[in-house]
A and B are shown apart, each in its own frame.
Chain A
Amino acid sequence: MSSLLRLATAGSVDDGKSTLVGRLLYDTKSVLADQLDAVQRASVDRGLSTPDLSLLVDGLRSEREQGITIDVAYRYFATPRRSFVLADTPGHVQYTRNTVTGASTAQLAVLLVDARKGVVEQTRRHAAVLALLGVPRLVLAVNKVDLIGYDEAEFTVIAKEFAGHAASLGYPEGSVLTIPVSALHGDNVAVRSENTPWYSGPTLLDHLENVPVAPDPHDAPFRFPVQYVIRPRTPEHPDYRGYAGQIAAGTVRPGDEVVVLPQGLHTTVERVDTADGPRDEAGSGSSVTVLLADDLDISRGDLIASAADRPVVTDEFTAALCWLSSTSLRPGARVLVKHGTRTVQAFVDELHSRFDEQALSTVEDPESLELNEIGSVRLRLAEEIPVDDYSHSPRTGAFLVIEPKNGDTLAAGMVGERFAKLGSTA
């Protein structure tokens, strides 16, 4: 079992995400006395009879004033079974870009609905974004069951509706669990509720502690974006030349045959170095320094990859974009693409389609892509870069779209025909 689970909340505004996170922290005794005092004082000031646990996470003044979450909060807690990195994201549609931020690294998302309202537009939008980003597991938390009298029938209707929707987005059975909870009162969060005798599944915390998370596949092809060339030129290390980076996928060992891209130069790995000494093997996520057998011209932005299984080197590809800017995207737009450690100029050759995340269908040849919309585009780059399909190698299939003039991040990009898969079964 993996020791660490990264999870994010999602769901419409006011569905109770921050309260649920506060409840998880509180029930796992992760809230220290001074933090709890502060929340209790603030709750009394607001005239509340019970402490408002969302105040533990809504850390900005304007969030507390408006009672909504504006930006992601990262919280950390641990139980004897597992450590958790939790991103509490905003539900308001205006802040979807912050939801995408929180979800981009999540291994599981807890999607909330208000039991009185069921699946709403924003639930479907978030579910689509989670599917697009490839978040492998979902929990649908049907929250505020206290307000529907802990009614099984209403819960079942919501669970069924969502199951159909998730399946259409490509979530296999078994990757989605639906739980009736009350974040406010704690039912089925960390403690099994006596109010829902008809529910026999795990509590949310049980599930989070036990859900299998797929480790990065050991046998995935090696991918190593070069971040920085280490050349000390000191008396102790006059000829040292190492390529520093974080392994994006696969593993590396001395003796491995590799290719340096986009140049296409072949060589072998001589040493995998760290400040603690050379390593026999290093895997995905490790920050190491790779030394090569041949003296080649390699710099930041290049990719060292497995010679046997290499990415495509191209200056043109199809990709899905999750558009995060209020300036709309139109075909012909000039942008920057930041992929791995390389940033290149690009232009949007074609806007193929827009994904309608409500109807789960595609709209062909839209005129533009607007804030929070998902689209499929053809990009043309000023130079060739090595890319993988996002579904095979997320770290080398992901990229940012950046506005060249002001440097803003415009979109989350994913290489491949991503959303041909979404909605394909609808």
Chain B
Amino acid sequence: MTALSETSETRETGEARAAAADAARDNLTALESEGMHVFREVAGEFDRPVILFSGGKDSTLLLHLAIKAFWPAPVPFPLLHVDTGHNFDEVIEFRDRMVAQHGLRLIVAHVQDWIDDGRLTERPDGTRNPLQTQPLLDTITEHKFDAVFGGGRRDEERARAKERIFSLRNAFGQWEPRRQRPELWNLYNGRHRPGEHVRVFPLSNWTEADVWNYIARERVELPSIYYAHRRKVYRRDGMWLTEGPWGGPRENETVEELTVRYRTVGDGSCTGAVESTAATVEEVIAEVQASRLTERGATRADDRLSEAAMEDRKREGYF
């Protein structure tokens, strides 16, 4: 009796697991197809698209989809990195290697240039994340980009959950949430007036878990700091920050060496590491599944500023 029911139970869970695995695979394939469709729509309808590329995992995924969408032809757009100067060396090395490997053209807008010539002033807290908006908008205007791909995902934050895949920005680059166009079926309306542009988010419908499962499936290479490594860090605002040119540690902050990894990669002054021993994609997937914190909540000081921090920055023209 007992033995029998055990067998059937084992089989059932085995089948359930197989079914769940099939389901996950279908889901990733559907997300991939949707992303490729978005890339091709933009290539077909816009004159001067550009892909925002920082070397982080979402923008790396974006590039991976773009390569697949146009294969065997090269990606028909340049890349743009708004460089705060507060970088992780591993990420910049990775960025440049990807650009070379795929024969792409990279435009870098250095926030430092805007500070040097007085168009921007350094903030007292030393964070440069909010300073990216101006160089981004200036570069869009200078190059007359009409479509700007970003790696934003709706699951990142509840204001992002409200944004369309094609997000129209006015002449000041601003998102006007109350004036969003209806987005019906998979028919995207990218019409815009001169001076306006469209931000395009091919990864809108991906979750953090989808991103990692896809990275595992496609064996997408990422900068090494996404995996566990030893690093000297200090505690600030409840986050593990790393030493760097952004001013840290302060006198009362003690440096420790820990095993950490990064869940998101942004400006070094406000991106925290998480304690983790996940050294492979599979281990990261297990960790993400068990995590009780969102990736931004766990690692981004800039999103903790207020209840509407992300919305406010988007309204100003942020990604």
For residue B41, which residue of chain A has the nearest CB? Answer: A227
* Residue among A60, A83, A105, A245 making CB contact with B23, cutoff 8 Å: A83
A105 to B177, CA, bound (A): 21
Contact between chains at B182 and A409 (CB < 8 Å): yes
For residue B295, which residue of chain A has the nearest CB? Answer: A32
Give chain B residues whose Cβ lies under 8 Å from the Cβ of A64. Answer: 307
Give chain B residues whose Cβ lies under 8 Å from the Cβ of A285. Answer: 30, 33
Within the complex, what minimum Cβ distance (angstroms) separates B31 from chain A? 10
A103 to B34, CA, bound (A): 18
Give chain B residues whose Cβ lies under 8 Å from the Cβ of A341. Answer: 41, 44
Contact between chains at A101 and B32 (CB < 8 Å): no
* Residue among A57, A97, A230, A240 making CB contact with B161, cutoff 8 Å: A57
- B residues lining the A interface (CB < 8 Å): 16, 19-20, 22-24, 26-27, 29-30, 32-34, 36-37, 40-41, 43-44, 67-74, 154-155, 157-162, 177-178, 180-187, 189, 191-193, 204-205, 207, 291-294, 297-298, 307-308, 311-312
* Residue among A246, A324, A406 making CB contact with B186, cutoff 8 Å: A246
Tell me the residues in window 229-288 of chain A with beta carbons closer than 8 Å to chain B beta carbons: 230-232, 234, 236-237, 240, 244-246, 274-276, 285-287
CB-CB contacts of A59-88 with B at 8 A, as 1s and 0s? 111101000001111111000101101000
A412 to B157, CA, bound (A): 29
Contact between chains at B69 and A59 (CB < 8 Å): no
Interface size class, chain A: 35 or more
Within the complex, what minimum Cβ distance (angstroms) separates A21 from chain B? 11
Contact between chains at B33 and A246 (CB < 8 Å): yes
A300 within 8 A of B: yes
A128 within 8 A of B: no
Give chain A residues whose Cβ lies under 8 Å from the Cβ of B307. Answer: 38, 42, 61, 64
A35 within 8 A of B: yes
Between-chain CB contacts (< 8 Å), 21 pairs: A4-B26, A34-B294, A59-B157, A61-B308, A61-B312, A62-B177, A71-B178, A72-B162, A74-B205, A83-B23, A101-B183, A101-B184, A104-B184, A230-B72, A240-B72, A240-B73, A246-B34, A287-B40, A398-B185, A407-B193, A412-B182
Give chain B residues whose Cβ lies under 8 Å from the Cβ of A98. Answer: 180, 182
Give chain A residues whose Cβ lies under 8 Å from the Cβ of B74. Answer: 232, 234
Within the complex, what minimum Cβ distance (angstroms) separates A192 from chain B? 22
Within the complex, what minimum Cβ distance (angstroms) separates A232 from chain B? 4
Tell me the residues in window 91-107 of chain A with beta carbons closer than 8 Å to chain B beta carbons: 97-98, 100-101, 104-105
Contact between chains at B68 and A275 (CB < 8 Å): yes
Contact between chains at B161 and A324 (CB < 8 Å): no
A32-B292, A409-B181 known; A231 and B73 CB under 8 Å?
Answer: yes
Contact between chains at B184 and A402 (CB < 8 Å): no
The B contact surface, by secondary structure, is helix
Contact between chains at B311 and A324 (CB < 8 Å): no
For residue A41, which residue of chain B has the nearest CB? Answer: B307
* Residue among B20, B158, B193 making CB contact with A73, cutoff 8 Å: B158
A83 to B298, CA, bound (A): 24
- A residues lining the B interface (CB < 8 Å): 1, 3-4, 32-35, 38, 42, 56-62, 64, 70-76, 80, 82-83, 85, 97-98, 100-101, 104-105, 227-228, 230-232, 234, 236-237, 240, 244-246, 274-276, 285-287, 289, 300, 324, 338, 341, 394-395, 398-400, 402, 406-409, 412
A228-B40, A400-B184 known; A75 and B292 CB under 8 Å?
Answer: no
Give chain B residues whose Cβ lies under 8 Å from the Cβ of A85. Answer: 205
For residue A339, which residue of chain B has the nearest CB? Answer: B187
Give chain A residues whose Cβ lies under 8 Å from the Cβ of B41. Answer: 227, 341
Contact between chains at A59 and B186 (CB < 8 Å): no
Contact between chains at B297 and A71 (CB < 8 Å): no
Contact between chains at A73 and B182 (CB < 8 Å): no
Give chain B residues whose Cβ lies under 8 Å from the Cβ of A4. Answer: 23, 26-27, 30
For residue A227, which residue of chain B has the nearest CB? Answer: B40
Give chain A residues whose Cβ lies under 8 Å from the Cβ of B36. Answer: 246, 287
A18 to B269, CA, bound (A): 36
Give chain A residues whose Cβ lies under 8 Å from the Cβ of B185. Answer: 104-105, 394-395, 398
A399 to B186, CA, bound (A): 10
Give chain B residues whose Cβ lies under 8 Å from the Cβ of A42. Answer: 307
A75 to B33, CA, bound (A): 20
Give chain A residues whose Cβ lies under 8 Å from the Cβ of B27. Answer: 3-4, 83
A60 to B314, CA, bound (A): 11
* Residue among A59, A83, A246 making CB contact with B158, cutoff 8 Å: A59
Give chain A residues whose Cβ lies under 8 Å from the Cβ of B293. Answer: 32-34
Closest 8 CB pairs of A and B: A407-B191, A3-B23, A34-B297, A59-B158, A275-B71, A287-B36, A232-B73, A287-B33
Contact between chains at B40 and A244 (CB < 8 Å): yes
For residue B218, which residue of chain A has the nearest CB? Answer: A276
Contact between chains at A406 and B40 (CB < 8 Å): no
A408 to B193, CA, bound (A): 11
Give chain B residues whose Cβ lies under 8 Å from the Cβ of A324. Answer: 182
Within the complex, what minimum Cβ distance (angstroms) separates B57 from chain A? 18
Give chain B residues whose Cβ lies under 8 Å from the Cβ of A234. Answer: 72-74
Contact between chains at A228 and B44 (CB < 8 Å): yes
* Residue among B44, B207, B297 making CB contact with A300, cutoff 8 Å: B44
A64 to B177, CA, bound (A): 14
Give chain A residues whose Cβ lies under 8 Å from the Cβ of B184. Answer: 100-101, 104, 398, 400, 409, 412
Given A35-B158, A64-B307, A409-B189, 7 additional A-B pairs, CB 8 A? A35-B297, A100-B182, A101-B184, A228-B40, A240-B72, A244-B70, A287-B36
For residue B35, which residue of chain A has the nearest CB? Answer: A287
Give chain B residues whose Cβ lies under 8 Å from the Cβ of A407. Answer: 189, 191-193
A98 to B177, CA, bound (A): 11
A3-B26, A32-B297 known; A71 and B162 CB under 8 Å?
Answer: yes
Contact between chains at A400 and B69 (CB < 8 Å): no
